[in-house]
Amino acid sequence: QNDHFQWEKYLEETGSLSAPSEYFRQSKIPPANDFKVGMKLEAHDPRNTTSVCIATVVGVTGARLRLRLDGSDNQNDFWRLVDSPDIQPVGTCEKEGDLLQPPLGYQMNTSSWPMFLLRTLTGSEMAPEAFFKKEPPKPPLNNFKVGMKLEAVDRKNPYLICPATIGNVKGDEVYITFDGWSGAFNYWCKYDCRDIFPVGWCNLTGDILQPLGSNVLITKNTTKTQPPPSKAAQRSMQSPQNSAIILPTHQTKKSGRPKPPVCPS
């Protein structure tokens, strides 16, 4: 189904383990995604998380939605899982006695907001309540270990889910590193963060798992006659800094410098 990247062979070649699915705050069976492009919902503004706005589904990818806040531009799209607590049916805010807010960067005069809201909702298709799934519970403990493989959102390019490795563990946090890429994309997050998924997630949801970056490790299986590497060599292959021999076939552009999010289309 997923012809972009095959875990099985890679796990074998690198002699690595995938992090067990119970370690993640994700449903063991990914939630169904019934949303359609054009549907409206309420979403917390990612740039101002206390405010709830109207958003439109502008894309559907695996168990995620690509969302755009009504009244904002097309340069600030964000992605949420269908079981994210950041999204809810239209009407939820009002039921709770709150007011829908204009998004940060609302392009018109604030005085036009009530009329804009009325217009944007009139005749629109609202996502049915049943499409919103309950957020799975937090696993009780951080069980991740350095070297475990997973799938993770590239936060600089949040539409991408990529093969990744736990590079470090500290208390409730894990350090996410991207296989075949320089450290420029690495990040720390809580072990129960919704941006990390077990190996096989994309294959189950139909999201596209990105290929490895091109700083590919030379592995034990390059020739048949080579003896298996020592335990220490295996550990170093899984090391966060990719300290094993690497083949830099190309350099990542502007590595180290923060980039604004890129629009894929």
Given the rule CB under 6 A, which residues bind ligand MLY?
154, 157, 160, 162, 178, 181, 185, 210, 252-253
Beta bridge partners of 188: 175
Which of residues 116 and 197 has its CB atom nearest to ligand MLY in the complex? 197
Q: Which residues contact 91 (CB under 8 A, 6 or more apart)?
A: 42, 126
Least distance to ligand MLY, CB of residue 181, Å: 4
Least distance to ligand MLY, CB of residue 182, Å: 9
Which of residues 120 and 157 has its CB atom nearest to ligand MLY in the complex? 157
* Half-sphere exposure for 221 (CA within 13 Å, toward CB): 7
Sign of the Cα torsion 144, 150, 151, 156 reads positive
DSSP 167-232: EEEETTEEEEEETTS-GGG-EEEETT-TTEE-TTHHHHHTPPBPPPPSEEEP-GGGSSSSPPPPHH
Which of residues 132 and 185 has its CB atom nearest to ligand MLY in the complex? 185
Least distance to ligand MLY, CB of residue 252, Å: 5
Which of residues 154 and 207 has its CB atom nearest to ligand MLY in the complex? 154
Least distance to ligand MLY, CB of residue 56, Å: 26
